[in-house]
């Protein structure tokens, strides 16, 4: 039985959040809010759960991850760099004209990226295809995907969800980053996808609700998903947009904005304080 390395994932999450701030600041563009809200989930996946090998990113039997909300690439890049897929120093070249770290992740250029994403709704479709291929090839790998709650407004999400249940893809687990905000404001004001849990249940999925910043709940939900048979699992993670940076939390304006020098310094100071406290513990 795999155990949760709680101290390690907490420290790693704090470092990844620092990377997110540095990436978006360096590029003077990007999407910090949703990147910060999904950081804890990505950290548990990559550092405590997924069967992957940074030295062999295309390993046939690896677990797969699809960032369906591809605009939150700063979080994925931060995690991949911390895991050793590429140099951490490259993160400050994010979105640069000569950089391989584009605004949306590319499987062609970035080691560890399993699917190029950006057009919302398409990532989950690719994840369903990967999971179905695993079943047909009699492989044991698992497929994970991360969707934004605003992304659920895309009809393609529900076509993919219907297919996943139809083919009984119990090797597929998706996370819904349910922070309640999208680029234009609150999701219920733009085009409400609620009730999210009931919709996935109606489509034939196993549904688990968690606090998306509680590492133990994330870990236990993944463990429960792995035990579920004959249906895919949707983990509805209640999160805070901009989590970890006081002035970004729960502010829709930080969906796609870069911090100033002063804001960058404040954010890093707050995250350094978190790391210092963890080191003392």
Q: What pTM does this model have? A: 0.97
For residue 168, give the nearest of 132, 133, 196, 124 by alpha carbon.
Answer: 132
What pLDDT score does 28 carry? 98
Distance, in Å, from the CA atom of 40 to the CA atom of 181, rounded to the nearest integer, reads 18
Distance, in Å, from the CA atom of 149 to the CA atom of 239, rounded to the nearest integer, reads 10
Q: What is the pLDDT of residues 184-220, one digit of tens each?
A: 999 999 999 999 999 999 999 999 999 999 999 999 9
What pLDDT score does 173 carry? 98
For residue 149, give the nearest of 141, 159, 157 by alpha carbon.
Answer: 157
pLDDT at 1 > cutoff 70: no
- Count of CB atoms within 10 A of residue 112's CB? 23
- Burial of 224-233, coded b for 16+ CB within 10 Å and e otherwise, reads ebeeeeebbb
The structure tokens listed for 143 are: 């497929």
Q: What is the pLDDT of residues 126-185, one digit of tens each?
A: 999 999 999 999 999 999 999 999 999 999 999 999 999 999 999 999 999 999 999 999
Q: Please give the angle made by the CA atoms of 136, 139 and 144, to the nearest 5 degrees.
A: 95
For residue 239, give the nearest of 88, 13, 65, 30 by alpha carbon.
Answer: 13
Tell me what the mean pLDDT of segment 18-47 comes to: 98
pLDDT band at 72 (very low <50, low <70, confident <90, very high): very high
Distance, in Å, from the CA atom of 101 to the CA atom of 70, rounded to the nearest integer, reads 12
Q: What is the pLDDT of residues 126-141, one digit of tens each?
A: 999 999 999 999 999 9
Distance, in Å, from the CA atom of 83 to the CA atom of 51, rounded to the nearest integer, reads 12
What pLDDT score does 2 carry? 75
Q: Write the CB contacts of 276 (distance below 8 Å, at least 6 apart in sequence).
A: none
Torsion angle in degrees (nearest 10) through CA of 56, 62, 68, 72: -40
**Domain locations in the chain?**
6-280
Q: Please give the angle made by the CA atoms of 26, 27 and 28, to the nearest 5 degrees.
A: 95
For residue 174, give the nearest of 142, 214, 213, 215 by alpha carbon.
Answer: 142
Hey, what CATH class is 6-280 in?
A: alpha beta
18, 39, 163, 271 from 265: Cα distances, Å: 10, 20, 46, 10
Q: What is the pLDDT of residues 106-117, one digit of tens each?
A: 999 999 999 999
DSSP of 71-123: GGHHHHHHHHHHHTSS-GGGGGGTT-TT-S--SS--TTTSTT--S---STTHH
The answer to whether the beta carbons of residues 240 and 249 sit under 8 Å apart is: yes
């Amino acid at each position: 039985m795999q155990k949760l390395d709680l101290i390690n994932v907490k420290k790693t999450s704090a470092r990844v959040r620092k990377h997110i701030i540095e990436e978006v600041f360096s590029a003077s563009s990007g999407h910090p809010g949703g990147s910060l809200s999904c950081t804890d989930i990505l950290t548990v996946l990559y550092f405590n759960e997924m069967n992957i090998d940074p030295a062999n990113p295309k390993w046939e039997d690896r677990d797969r991850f699809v960032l369906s909300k591809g605009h939150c690439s700063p979080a994925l890049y931060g995690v991949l760099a911390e895991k050793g897929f590429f140099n951490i120093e490259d993160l400050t070249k994010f979105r640069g004209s000569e950089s391989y770290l584009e605004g949306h992740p590319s499987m062609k250029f970035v080691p560890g990226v399993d699917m190029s994403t950006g057009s919302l709704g398409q990532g989950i479709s690719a994840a369903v295809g990967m999971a179905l291929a695993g079943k047909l090839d009699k492989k044991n790998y698992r497929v994970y995907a991360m969707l934004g709650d605003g992304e659920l407004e895309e009809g393609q999400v529900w076509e993919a969800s219907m297919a996943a249940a139809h083919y009984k893809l119990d090797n597929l687990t998706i996370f819904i980053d349910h922070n309640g905000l999208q680029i234009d404001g609150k999701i219920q004001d733009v085009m409400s996808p609620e009730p999210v849990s009931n919709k996935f249940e109606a489509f034939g999925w196993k549904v688990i609700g968690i606090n998306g910043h509680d590492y133990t709940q994330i870990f236990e939900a993944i463990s429960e998903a792995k035990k579920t048979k004959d249906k895919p699992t949707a983990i509805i993670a209640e999160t805070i947009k901009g989590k970890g940076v006081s002035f970004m939390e729960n502010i829709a304006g930080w969906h796609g904005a870069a911090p100033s020098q002063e804001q960058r310094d404040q954010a890093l100071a707050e995250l350094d304080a978190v790391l210092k406290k963890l080191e003392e513990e």
